[in-house]
Amino acid sequence: MSIEIAHFALILAFALSAVQTVVPLVGAQKGWRGWMAVAGSAATLQFVLIGLAFLTLTMAFIRSDFSVELVYLNSHTAKPMIYKISGVWGNHEGSLLLWVLILTLFGAAAAWFGDGLPERLRARVLAVQGSIGFAFMAFMLFTSNPFARLDVPPLNGRDLNPLLQDPGLAFHPPFLYLGYVGLSMAFSFAVAALIEGRVDAAWGRWVRPWTLAAWVFLTIGIALGSWWAYYELGWGGFWFWDPVENASFMPWLIATALLHSAIVVEKREALKSWTILLAILAFAFSLLGTFIVRSGVLTSVHAFANDPERGVWILVIFIIFTGGSLTLYALRAGAMQAQGVFSTVSRESGLIVNNILLAVSAFVVFIGTIWPLVVELIFDRQLSVGPPFFDAAFTPFMVALAIALPFGSMLAWKRGSLNRVGKSLIGWAVLACAMAALAFALQSGRSALGPIGLALGVWVVGGALQDLWSRTGRKGLSDRLSRLSRLPRADWGKAVAHIGLGVTMFGCAGILAWQVEDIRVASPGESWDVGSYTFTLEDVRQVRGPNYQSTMADVAVARGSSEIGLMNPEKRFYPVAAMPTTEAAIINGVMRDIYIVVGDPQDNGGYAMRTYIKPFANWIWGGAILMSLGGFLSLSDRRMRVGAASPKTAVLEPAE
């Protein structure tokens, strides 16, 4: 298959997206059913076309077809197969194609699974989805064509950035995009509802699975990125508050809020206009993230396409979609009447507190990220906003969130009793405080962060367990256990996701508070102690990889007299890209990671060695896995699969 056909498929899909935007919208306005029906087939066909284009580009990478400029710039014949494939999205043009592929996939999925939706709403949702596709395909065709050819194909390529040649990063972008772009569905539903002027419980039920799916993918994507940073960047940090990380974190925070407020819409028909606003903001932050990553307005370790012209395009797309939808919101939001009334102490209020804390913490991240830009533009002052700001300004809201979570999740709808919930949680509160006190006594004089994190973790996990247990009635143990196993998956999903949050919070606090570090020069044969472990540098060798040269150290690790293993930290050099990378050696464990990095040879024949003991590191990502697992569990609940209104609309719809 030729790359020109792929280019043509992209152009066809672009034209189709214009049709998909205009025709169903007019159809829905005028009540023309044939016009509305165009949306479904256009969405499916678009996905097929973009899929074709994407497959063709992937084949060009697999075959190392260097007549394609993008392949030449980002690939090399000596590169392992998995990185030839991940090279497709390891660059600006290819990743945009992946972005559009996922966008059309969601559009097509809405067409396939949207039978339960009212005809007009479905047509409008797909039309809005089509308009997003139109904007991005235009951007691609006019500024970032991935299918450009070279007149004279070179003999070999220029290789992918070695930092990106890594399993964690190979799958990080697809998951992240599934999340970013998945939020476009929530956006499309919100805008469609605004055009319609109506939001009801059914709308809340329809928009939730899409948001949940996007949120799960976003969670996995962010966790993969953080895990990659941990083992690849060479000093074991897991979060740097870098603009590009923040760009993915803001939509995640807003999507988490949206997930919770949509429950209120579904169950109680309240918070409607707020939920719509969150749906718009979640996608707006996704677009903003795309702008930050690709425009280079903010310096970041991750930015990979710093091109002002492209930045302007994305800024225009961002302004049109965000500005347009917010204008529509301002005009129509007044029409969203809240039905449900609730008292100040209720599940609804609990979810409002959740929304406030998440939205404000997203705002902290937002203002910290763009502040340097604002100050430079207005006051011509160059300053930085880094981790110290975010740690100070963001953490309090997360602590508050963790404290409030068990209460909110157990309060009854409509009218709850703090007293009753408090009584059932008192045991966990005592346990949390006791463990914190114990940790504080044991650690002798280190920061209070560790004990606080431990207490919050125990409190949140315990609260989630208590919440599950409280749903099993009041009869005997065996009856309660059997009820526990029969609880809806949504209940389990909620508990597992909340437990995941507690685990992650504890992991972050643990690694930050209790890490041990050692930096020294070691000669082959030399031993040193870090924590309760003894390390011996046995040898340093030169090793040849498929497309790199490596300086590899053999370090034996022992605890007392028992051998733990041999670790092989490396310093690699990729000759094609002329770039060195560090490959840390890590022994993973539940209670701690042992983390070693080898550095430069020193004058005395030794090597610089960095050794870390990182306690509870894996709990950070373990918690993220639990969170996404909880999302999956909820997603697989019967209620989500059986559309609330599908029987009703099936009756209403006459046969075509």
Partner 1 sequence: MRRLALVLTFLASPLWAVEPGEILDDPVLESRAREVSQGLRCPVCQNETIDESNASLAGDLRVVLRERLVAGDTNEEAVEFLVARYGEFILLEPDKGGVNLILWGAAPVLFLLALFVGWRTTQRKSETHDLTDEEKAELDKLLSS
Indicate left, alpha or beta for 400 from its phi (over 0: left) and psi (-120 to 50: alpha): alpha
**Smaller CB separation from partner 1, 499 or 512:** 512
Site string for partner 1, 368-397 (x = CB under 8 A): x--x---x---x-xxxxxxxxx--xx---x
**Smaller CB separation from partner 1, 65 or 242:** 242
**Smaller CB separation from partner 1, 95 or 300:** 300
Which 242-301 residues touch partner 1, going by CB under 8 A?
Answer: 242-243, 270-271, 299-301
Q: Considering the complex, what minimum distance in angstroms separates the CB of residue 234 from partner 1? A: 8
Q: Considering the complex, what minimum distance in angstroms separates the CB of residue 287 from partner 1? A: 22
The token pair that represents 578 in the structure block? 């002329």
> In Å, how far are 127, 210, 215, 241, 355 from 189, measured between CA atoms?
10, 10, 16, 31, 20
From CA 90, how far away is CA 168, in angstroms rounded?
13
Helix (H), strand (E), coil (C) string for 346-379: CHHHHHHHHHHHHHHHHHHHHHHHHHHHHHHHHH
Quick check: 353 binds partner 1 (CB under 8 A)? Answer: yes
Q: Which segment (224-232, 341-349, 468-476, 647-655) binds partner 1 by CB under 8 A? A: 341-349
DSSP string over 289-316: HHHHHHH-SS--SS-----HHHHHHHHH
Cβ-in-10-Å burial (0-12, 13-18, 19+) of 429 comes to middle
Q: Using alpha carbons only, what angle is made at residue 47 by residues 43 and 49, rounded to the nearest 5 degrees? A: 115
Q: Considering the complex, what minimum distance in angstroms separates the CB of residue 414 from partner 1? A: 11
Q: Considering the complex, what minimum distance in angstroms separates the CB of residue 344 from partner 1? A: 5
Q: Which segment (11-19, 105-113, 352-360, 477-485) binds partner 1 by CB under 8 A? A: 352-360
Closest by Cα among 70, 60, 106 to 90: 70
Quick check: 403 binds partner 1 (CB under 8 A)? Answer: no
Cβ-in-10-Å burial (0-12, 13-18, 19+) of 275 comes to buried
**Smaller CB separation from partner 1, 13 or 250:** 250
Q: Are 225 and 176 in contact (CB under 8 A)?
A: yes
From CA 528, how far away is CA 537, in angstroms rounded?
9
Report the residue from 272, 571, 592, 614 that binds partner 1 according to the rule CB under 8 A: 571
Quick check: 155 binds partner 1 (CB under 8 A)? Answer: no
Q: Which segment (183-191, 332-340, 469-477, 618-626) binds partner 1 by CB under 8 A? A: 332-340
H or E stretch covering 554: strand 549-559
**Smaller CB separation from partner 1, 382 or 561:** 382
Q: Which segment (102-110, 348-356, 452-460, 633-641) binds partner 1 by CB under 8 A? A: 348-356
From CA 415, how far away is CA 345, in angstroms rounded?
6
**Smaller CB separation from partner 1, 234 or 251:** 234
Residue 554: strand pairing partners: 539
Q: Considering the complex, what minimum distance in angstroms separates the CB of residue 319 from partner 1? A: 22
Report the residue from 89, 215, 238, 240 that binds partner 1 according to the rule CB under 8 A: 240
528: helix, coil or strand?
Answer: strand
Supply φ then ψ for residue 195, to 5 degrees.
-60, -40
Quick check: 364 binds partner 1 (CB under 8 A)? Answer: yes
Q: Considering the complex, what minimum distance in angstroms separates the CB of residue 584 from partner 1? A: 13
From CA 105, how far away is CA 108, in angstroms rounded?
5
The token pair that represents 429 in the structure block? 């509160």
Q: Which segment (40-48, 183-191, 218-226, 336-344) binds partner 1 by CB under 8 A? A: 336-344
Q: Considering the complex, what minimum distance in angstroms separates the CB of residue 251 from partner 1? A: 18
Q: Which long-range CB contacts under 8 A does 618-622 form with residues at least 24 apart?
A: 618/507, 618/588, 618/589, 618/590, 618/593, 619/503, 619/504, 619/506, 619/507, 619/510, 620/226, 620/238, 620/504, 620/507, 620/508, 620/511, 621/223, 621/226, 621/227, 621/507, 622/500, 622/503, 622/504, 622/507
Strands of the sheet with 592-601, listed across from one edge:
516-522, 607-615, 592-601, 585-587
Q: Considering the complex, what minimum distance in angstroms separates the CB of residue 382 from partner 1? A: 5
H or E stretch covering 542: strand 533-544
Q: Which segment (145-153, 231-239, 433-441, 494-502) binds partner 1 by CB under 8 A? A: 231-239
Site string for partner 1, 574-613 (x = CB under 8 A): -x--xxx------------------xxxx-----x-----
Q: How many residues does the chain have?
A: 656
**Smaller CB separation from partner 1, 120 or 272:** 272
Q: Considering the complex, what minimum distance in angstroms separates the CB of residue 87 from partner 1? A: 22
Residue 566: strand pairing partners: 556
> In Å, how far are 23, 37, 124, 252, 350 from 20, measured between CA atoms?
6, 10, 10, 29, 40
Q: Are 465 and 366 in contact (CB under 8 A)?
A: no
Report the residue from 367, 426, 438, 591 that binds partner 1 according to the rule CB under 8 A: 367
Q: Considering the complex, what minimum distance in angstroms separates the CB of residue 604 from partner 1? A: 11
Q: Which segment (38-46, 55-63, 218-226, 343-351) binds partner 1 by CB under 8 A? A: 343-351
**Smaller CB separation from partner 1, 33 or 415:** 415
Residue position matching structure tokens 């392992």: 80
Site string for partner 1, 524-563 (x = CB under 8 A): ------------------x-x----x-x------------
Q: Considering the complex, what minimum distance in angstroms separates the CB of residue 473 from partner 1? A: 30
**Smaller CB separation from partner 1, 101 or 298:** 298
Give me the residues that bind partner 1 (CB under 8 A), please: 234-235, 237, 240, 242-243, 270-271, 299-301, 303, 337-339, 341-344, 346, 348-349, 352-353, 355-356, 359-361, 363-364, 367-368, 371, 375, 379, 381-389, 392-393, 397, 519-521, 542, 544, 549, 551, 571, 573, 575, 578-580, 599-602, 608
